[in-house]
Copies of this chain bind each other. A is one copy, B any other.
């Protein structure tokens, strides 16, 4: 590794722009550089060649909302409240009828960056709650173009309203009504809108000489998958691949824009995804987790290991490959470090600053905690991963065709009942067995040694954990996006039903 100590110094001094490219349901195996068999991502592969590839980078939850809450707070969902206690080890998120969202007590990355003079923009999916108190502009962002929830639909406006699209404080239309998504052809030009929005914001910030934080949280690879007309039918991989190609093309344009504006050496860019590919939607509406086991919703590698690339020309050496165990929560800590802002000292932060890894080639010893809802399912330390609980999904759901591990079945591992292994964890060596197919023998010395170490880490973590108030327990039809701010101007207000709060049902 090259030692570029001067870069670290200069970084802190100049407060570089920060650009986080967060994909939706994109899997580790979806990029050429990670072995996708059609290799259709030349721009992302080039980004990796010019930057640093992270092979062992994780999300903090196998589901969208908690993963995003973790990224923006630097804290595990079980701390920041993005989990449920309605059922054991159930993933929860923020559908339209969710009552909760990001608590005011949480400090988000843009709130902290604002103190260092950053202008903060979110483009795309917010997903930390859609009720007024959870609006991203109340939580540190200065600008927003995008939507609060997933682009599911179309809805009939009676049982359920269509999801609004916001510009800053107000809605500017709704999906399927004003922002078209053709479910038959898969055509939608949203990625182009999000691309243009990013290019314009970057240009504006460059002109005003203000540092920016841009959180580009696009969602074309989340079912229902979509692509613009010019990309439809261009991929060997079908519609999902068309969406990936459009994203790849867009990221190429964004990086080129930074270079043309002469600010690439002053802009830290990080690419990753919110959780593993949604194999339940594959092959037409879901991606690939490469050689890993299962996908989204699970705590196997396919559910939580993410593609990840850091890019910062002149600072991060080109062509680097890191086996640092990383997390989306590290993007919080690393961004603060880049901005020269101290992380909050009044709460537990789970992220770590990755700058020594990226700039000096260091490796930092740290575990990875795999949560599903309120349960610590597994822990990784070094190359060993211990499962304390295993579950793919219930037999009941499996029988309905809901399959988080299609074509894969490992006896005693991809279980359809929740299996506890606390007293005899299932142990895998992810170097020899990245696919989690061969649990180590309980009798082996290797098992004893590794489990002793990992279980120590797990116990320490659990003993000191103060869970946050769970935010994803209560649902209510009345809180859906009936009349978001700005609906009056557009004549898009809908009448909400009577409030009838209930426990949300989280089946997975």
CB atoms of B38 and A35 under 8 A apart:
no
CB atoms of A282 and B408 under 8 A apart:
no
> Could you say which residues of chain B place their CB within 8 Å of the CB of A283?
429, 432-433, 437-438
CB atoms of B429 and A238 under 8 A apart:
yes
Give complex CA distance A408, B293 in Å. Answer: 10
Q: Which of A440-481 contact B (CB under 8 A)?
A: none
> Could you say which residues of chain B place their CB within 8 Å of the CB of A241?
431-432
**Which residue of the partner chain, among B34, B37, B323, B430, contacts A434 with CB atoms under 8 Å?**
B37
CB atoms of B438 and A383 under 8 A apart:
no
Q: Which of A205-261 contact B (CB under 8 A)?
A: 235-238, 240-241
**Which residue of the partner chain, among B238, B290, B409, B431, contacts A291 with CB atoms under 8 Å?**
B290
CB atoms of B29 and A55 under 8 A apart:
no
Q: How far is the CB of A228 from chain B (nearest CB, A)?
A: 19
Q: Which of A165-213 contact B (CB under 8 A)?
A: none
Q: How far is the CB of A55 from chain B (nearest CB, A)?
A: 6
Q: Tell me whether A394 is interfacial, beta carbon within 8 Å.
A: no
Q: Given A431-B236, A438-B283: A291 and B37 within 8 A (CB)?
A: yes
Which residue of chain B is the closest to A409 with respect to CB atoms? B409
Stoichiometry, copies per complex? 2
Q: Tell me whether A36 is interfacial, beta carbon within 8 Å.
A: yes
CB atoms of A406 and B290 under 8 A apart:
no
Give complex CA distance A288, B292 in Å. Answer: 11
CB atoms of A323 and B38 under 8 A apart:
yes
Which residue of chain B is the closest to A301 with respect to CB atoms? B37
Q: Given A290-B290, A291-B291: A284 and B35 within 8 A (CB)?
A: no
Q: Tell me whether A9 is interfacial, beta carbon within 8 Å.
A: no
A407-423: CB near B (< 8 Å → 1, else 0) gives 11110000000000000
Q: Tell me whether A435 is interfacial, beta carbon within 8 Å.
A: yes
Give complex CA distance A434, B429 in Å. Answer: 26
Q: Tell me whether A402 is interfacial, beta carbon within 8 Å.
A: no
**Which residue of the partner chain, among B290, B409, B431, B433, contacts A35 with CB atoms under 8 Å?**
B290
Give complex CA distance A39, B52 in Å. Answer: 13
> Could you say which residues of chain B place their CB within 8 Å of the CB of A240?
432
Q: How far is the CB of A2 from chain B (nearest CB, A)?
A: 15
Q: Tell me whether A321 is interfacial, beta carbon within 8 Å.
A: yes
Q: How far is the CB of A189 from chain B (nearest CB, A)?
A: 23
**Which residue of the partner chain, among B238, B429, B432, B433, contacts A431 with CB atoms under 8 Å?**
B238
CB atoms of A29 and B38 under 8 A apart:
no
Give complex CA distance A321, B42 in Å. Answer: 10
CB atoms of A437 and B291 under 8 A apart:
no
CB atoms of B38 and A431 under 8 A apart:
yes
**Which residue of the partner chain, among B32, B39, B321, B408, contacts A409 with CB atoms under 8 Å?**
B408
Q: How far is the CB of A441 from chain B (nearest CB, A)?
A: 12
Give complex CA distance A406, B411 in Å. Answer: 10
Give complex CA distance A407, B39 in Å. Answer: 25
> Could you say which residues of chain B place their CB within 8 Å of the CB of A433?
282-283
Which residue of chain B is the closest to A238 with respect to CB atoms? B432
Q: How far is the CB of A31 from chain B (nearest CB, A)?
A: 9
> Could you say which residues of chain B place their CB within 8 Å of the CB of A383?
236
> Could you say which residues of chain B place their CB within 8 Å of the CB of A36?
35
CB atoms of A407 and B410 under 8 A apart:
yes
A374-399: CB near B (< 8 Å → 1, else 0) gives 00000000010000000000000000
Q: Which of A246-294 contact B (CB under 8 A)?
A: 282-284, 288, 290-293
CB atoms of A37 and B290 under 8 A apart:
yes
**Which residue of the partner chain, among B37, B282, B292, contacts A55 with CB atoms under 8 Å?**
B37
Give complex CA distance A282, B432 in Å. Answer: 9
Q: Given A291-B291, A407-B410: A432 and B284 within 8 A (CB)?
A: yes
Give complex CA distance A283, B431 in Å. Answer: 10
Q: How far is the CB of A308 from chain B (nearest CB, A)?
A: 12
Q: How far is the CB of A159 from chain B (nearest CB, A)?
A: 31
> Could you say which residues of chain B place their CB within 8 Å of the CB of A430?
37
Q: List 11 A-B contacts (CB under 8 A).
A: A39-B55, A39-B321, A237-B431, A241-B432, A282-B433, A283-B437, A288-B434, A406-B438, A407-B409, A407-B410, A408-B408
Known: A38-B55, A282-B433, A409-B409. 8 other contacts (CB 8 A): A29-B291, A35-B35, A37-B290, A236-B383, A236-B431, A283-B429, A283-B432, A291-B291
In the complex, the 6 A-B pairs of residues with the closest C-beta atoms, listed nearest first: A35-B35, A236-B431, A407-B437, A238-B432, A283-B432, A283-B433
